[in-house]
C-alpha cells in the first residue's frame, strides 16, 4: 500500500521535473562564446601564481562501440593504434601549458581521466602520461587519481597498471543491468562481467569505486530497475551517481536507434528515481547534492558535515577549489576566472596542438556579477544553504538588493517544505536536495535568454 509520504515525494518529483542546467559551471556552456580565444587562455595561464593548486583532466575520446544513449564527445574506432598518436598530442599540450605557468608551481590535488573509454588506451600510454605529469607538476602524495573504465573491455594488464600507478578512485559506467535495456542502448555488460572486473581490481589493491546509473532509458521497467538497484548494492560501491537520461535526438542522432515508444513515461521515469533514492538511503548511503550518493564512511559524506564539498566538471569532490586544466579534444579548463574549451573535433584539436598553439575554440570570461552568482549557485549545489550576512560581507552588497525576484520565488519551495527561510538566510531541508538544480535556476542571469533563443530544449530534465 502506498503511503501519503510516498505520494507526496512522487508529486514533488513530477512537479519539478523541468529542463534545467546541471551547473557544473556558471555561466553554463550555452552562454559561452567563440570570441574567447587561445590568446585569452594563454593570458589566464600566465596569471597563475606559484602557490595556486591545480586539478588536471584528460579527455580520452576513443570507444570501440557507440552506446545509443551516449551524450559524451567520443570517437568510435576499433583501431587501437589511434591512441598512440593521440597520447603524443596530449604530451605536447601538457608541455605547452606547463611552459606558460610559473617555474615554481603549486601542487596538483586531483587528476581525472575521462572519456570516451580511457581503458581503450594501452596501459603504457597512461603510464607515460602520468610520468610526464609528475615530471612537470608537483603532484601531492595523496592526490586523487581517478579514471573511468568500461568493465567489459578493461584487460587484466590495464587493471594492474591502475594499481601500480597509484590510481585510487575507479568510476565504472553501469547504466542498467537489464538485458533488454542493454540491447536497446548497445551496451552489453551484465552483472557477472561487472563483478568480475571489480573483483580483479580489488585483488590488485584498489578499493574506492564510483558506479554510474541512468534512469529513463529505453526498455526500462520497474521489475528490471529494482533488480539493477539490488545488484548494484551487491557490488559494494563507495559512491553512486544516478543520472537522468537526456533524450535529445536532434543533438544526438544515434538516439534514433530506438523508438520514442521504447522510453518509459515521464511518470514512470520519475518513479525510477524515487526507487533509487529510497533504496540507497535505506542501504545507508547519504545524498550528496541532487543525484550523488556516498557511503557513510566516505570522505564526501564526512565533508558534507563540515562544508568541505566542492564542485567542478568532474562532479562533487572534497579537494579544494583549484585551477582546472583540461587536456584533449573538447576538454574544458577554468583558470583565473575564465572558462576555455578545446576544439571538439579531433582533427582541428590535433592540428592546433601540432602547430604549438593552444586549442581553445570558445569560452567565457567572468564578470563581477558572474563571480557573485557563481558563488551563490556553487554554494547552493554543494551545501544547500545561503547565509545573507556572509554574502553581504564577502561581496559588499545586500543579498535582498541583488536577488529580490529570486527571494520571492523561493516562497514556492518553502510552501512545498523544500527550503527553510528566516532573516539570516535560507537552507534546503529534507527532500529539497533533490531539487537543487531547480533552486539554482533562480540565480541564473543567462537562463531566460538561453531558453528563448533555443528551438529545442538545451538542457536535460532535472528528474
SS3 string of the chain? CCCHHHHHHHHHHHHCCCECCCCCCCCCHHHCECCCCHHHHHHHHHCCCCCCCEEEEEEECEECCCCCCCCCCCEECCCCCHHHHHHHHHHHHHHHHHHCCCCCCCEEEEEEEEECCHHHCCHHHHHHHHHHHHHHCEEEEEEEEEEEECCCCCCHHHHHHHHHCCCCEEEEEEECCCHHHHHHHCCCCCHHHHHHHHHHHHHCCCCCEEEEEEECCCCCCHHHHHHHHHHHHHCCCCEEEEEECCCCCCCCHHHHHCCHHHCCCHHHHHHHHHHHHHHHHHCCEEEECCCEEEECCCHHHHHHHCCCCEEECCEEECCCCCEEEEECCCCEEEECCEEEEECCCHHHHHHHHHCCCCCEEEEEECCHHHHHHHHHHHHHHHHCEEEHHHHHHHHCCCHHHHCHHHHHHHHHHHHCCCEEEECCEEEECHHHHHHHHHHHHHHCCCHHHHHHCCCCCCCCECC
Q: Give the pLDDT of residue 341.
A: 98
Whether 213 and 198 have beta carbons less than 8 Å apart is answered as no
Nearest to 123 by CA among 77, 64, 163: 163
Q: In sequence order, which residues have a C-beta less than 8 Å from that of residue 305 and are 6 or more positions away?
A: none
CATH number of the CATH domain containing 93:
3.80.30.20
pLDDT computed for residue 4 by the predictor: 52
Q: Cell numbers for 199, please give them.
A: 573483483
Give the pLDDT of residue 1.
37
Q: How far apart are CA 383 and CA 305, in angstroms?
A: 9
End-of-domain residue from the set 277, 305, 327: 327
Same domain, 318 and 376: no
Whether 332 and 341 have beta carbons less than 8 Å apart is answered as yes
Residuewise pLDDT in 10s, the chain (463 residues): 345 556 788 888 888 988 888 898 999 999 999 999 999 999 999 999 999 999 999 999 999 999 999 888 999 999 999 999 999 999 999 999 999 999 998 999 999 999 999 999 999 999 999 999 999 999 999 999 999 999 999 999 999 999 999 999 999 999 999 999 999 999 989 999 999 999 999 999 999 999 999 999 999 999 999 999 999 999 999 999 999 898 888 888 899 899 989 999 988 998 999 999 999 999 999 999 888 999 999 999 988 888 788 887 777 888 767 899 999 999 999 999 999 999 999 999 999 999 999 999 999 999 999 999 999 999 999 889 999 999 999 999 999 999 999 999 999 999 999 999 999 999 999 888 889 999 999 999 999 999 887 777 678 777 7
The domain in which residue 413 lies consists of 12-20+368-454
The domain tally of the chain equals 2
383 belongs to a structural domain? yes
* pLDDT given at position 7: 75
Q: Are 262 and 269 in contact (CB under 8 A)?
A: no
Say if residue 412 is exposed, middle or buried (CB neighbours under 10 Å; 0-12, 13-18, 19+): middle
Tell me, yes or no, whether 84 lies in a domain.
yes
Rounded to whole angstroms, the Cα distance separating 440 from 444 reads 7
Same structural domain for residues 122 and 234?
yes
96 and 207 fall within a common domain: yes
State whether 164 and 280 are in the same domain.
yes
Residues 302 and 419 in one domain: no
Q: Is residue 460 part of a domain?
A: no
Write out the three cell numbers for 333: 579548463
| Residue whose C-alpha cell is 544516478 | 242
Q: Are residues 187 and 115 in the same domain?
A: yes
Strand partners, 339: 334, 364
Sign of CA dihedral 197, 201, 202, 208: negative
Neighbours of 404 (CB within 10 A): 10
CA-based nearest residue to 30, from 341, 438, 440: 341
Half-sphere exposure of 281 (CA within 13 A, CB side): 12
Are 271 and 135 in a shared domain? yes
Q: Are residues 82 and 147 in the same domain?
A: yes
Using the 3D structure, point to which of 302, 327, 352 is the last residue of a domain: 327
Asked if residue 301 belongs to a domain, the reply is yes
Structure confidence at residue 2 (pLDDT): 45
Residue 5 maps to a domain = no
> Are 16 and 51 members of one domain?
no
Asked if residue 114 belongs to a domain, the reply is yes
Which of 298, 327, 356 lies at the terminal end of a domain, its last residue? Answer: 327
Note whether 239 and 267 are within 8 A (CB). Answer: no
| Beta-strand pair 360-365/385-387 | unpaired
Q: How far apart are CA 64 and CA 1, in angstroms?
A: 46
Q: How many CB atoms lie within 10 A of CB 208?
A: 16
Give domain status of residue 249, yes or no: yes
Residue 382 and residue 250 share a domain = no
CB 160 within 8 A of CB 137: no
Residue 179 maps to a domain = yes
What gap in Å lies between CA 156 and CA 149, rounded to an integer?
Answer: 12
All three cell numbers of 93: 599540450
**Residues 16, 40 within the same domain:** no
422: domain CATH number? 1.10.10.920
Please count the other Cβ atoms lying within 10 Å of the Cβ belonging to residue 66.
16
Based on the fold, state whether residues 155 and 287 are members of the same structural domain.
yes
Amino acid at each position: 500500500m502506498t503511503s501519503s509520504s510516498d505520494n507526496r515525494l512522487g508529486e514533488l518529483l513530477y512537479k519539478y521535473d523541468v529542463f534545467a542546467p546541471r551547473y557544473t559551471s556558471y555561466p553554463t556552456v550555452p552562454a559561452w562564446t567563440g570570441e574567447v580565444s587561445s590568446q585569452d587562455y594563454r593570458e589566464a595561464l600566465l596569471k597563475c601564481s606559484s602557490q595556486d593548486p591545480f586539478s588536471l583532466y584528460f579527455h580520452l575520446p576513443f570507444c570501440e562501440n557507440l552506446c545509443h544513449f551516449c551524450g559524451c564527445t567520443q570517437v568510435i574506432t576499433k583501431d587501437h593504434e589511434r591512441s598512440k598518436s593521440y597520447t603524443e598530442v596530449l604530451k605536447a599540450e601538457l608541455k605547452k601549458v606547463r611552459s606558460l605557468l610559473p617555474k615554481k608551481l603549486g601542487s596538483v590535488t586531483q587528476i581525472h581521466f575521462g572519456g570516451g573509454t580511457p581503458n581503450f588506451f594501452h596501459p603504457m600510454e597512461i603510464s607515460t602520461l602520468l610520468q610526464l605529469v609528475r615530471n612537470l607538476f608537483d603532484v601531492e602524495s595523496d592526490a586523487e587519481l581517478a579514471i573511468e573504465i568500461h568493465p567489459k573491455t578493461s584487460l587484466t594488464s590495464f587493471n594492474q597498471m591502475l594499481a601500480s600507478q597509484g590510481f585510487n578512485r575507479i568510476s565504472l559506467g553501469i547504466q542498467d543491468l537489464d538485458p533488454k535495456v542493454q540491447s536497446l542502448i548497445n551496451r552489453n555488460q551484465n552483472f557477472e562481467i561487472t563483478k568480475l572486473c571489480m573483483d580483479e581490481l580489488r585483488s590488485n589493491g584498489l578499493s574506492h569505486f564510483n558506479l554510474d546509473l541512468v534512469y529513463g532509458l529505453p526498455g526500462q521497467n520497474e521489475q528490471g530497475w529494482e533488480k539493477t538497484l539490488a545488484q548494484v548494492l551487491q557490488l559494494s560501491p563507495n559512491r553512486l551517481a544516478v543520472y537522468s537520461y537526456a533524450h535529445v535526438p536532434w543533438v544526438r542522432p544515434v538516439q534514433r536507434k530506438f523508438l520514442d515508444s521504447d522510453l518509459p513515461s515521464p511518470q514512470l521515469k520519475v518513479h525510477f528515481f524515487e526507487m533509487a533514492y529510497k533504496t540507497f538511503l535505506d542501504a545507508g548511503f547519504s545524498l550528496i547534492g541532487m543525484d550523488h550518493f556516498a557511503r557513510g564512511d566516505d570522505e564526501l559524506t564526512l565533508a558534507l558535515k563540515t562544508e568541505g564539498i566542492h564542485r567542478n566538471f568532474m562532479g562533487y569532490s572534497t579537494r579544494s577549489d583549484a585551477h582546472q586544466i583540461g587536456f584533449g579534444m573538447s576538454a574544458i579548463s577554468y583558470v583565473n576566472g575564465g572558462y576555455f574549451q578545446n576544439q571538439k573535433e579531433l582533427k582541428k584539436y590535433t592540428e592546433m596542438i601540432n602547430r604549438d598553439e593552444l586549442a581553445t575554440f570558445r569560452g567565457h570570461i567572468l564578470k563581477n556579477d558572474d563571480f557573485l552568482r557563481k558563488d551563490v549557485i556553487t554554494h547552493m549545489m554543494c551545501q544547500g544553504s545561503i547565509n545573507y550576512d556572509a554574502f553581504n560581507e564577502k561581496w559588499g552588497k545586500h543579498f535582498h538588493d541583488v536577488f529580490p525576484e529570486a527571494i520571492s520565488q523561493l516562497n514556492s519551495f518553502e510552501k512545498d517544505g523544500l527550503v527553510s527561510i528566516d532573516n539570516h538566510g535560507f537552507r534546503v531541508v529534507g527532500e529539497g536536495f533533490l531539487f537543487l538544480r531547480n533552486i539554482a535556476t533562480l540565480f541564473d542571469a543567462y537562463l531566460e535568454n538561453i531558453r528563448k533563443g533555443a528551438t529545442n530544449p538545451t538542457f536535460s530534465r532535472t528528474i
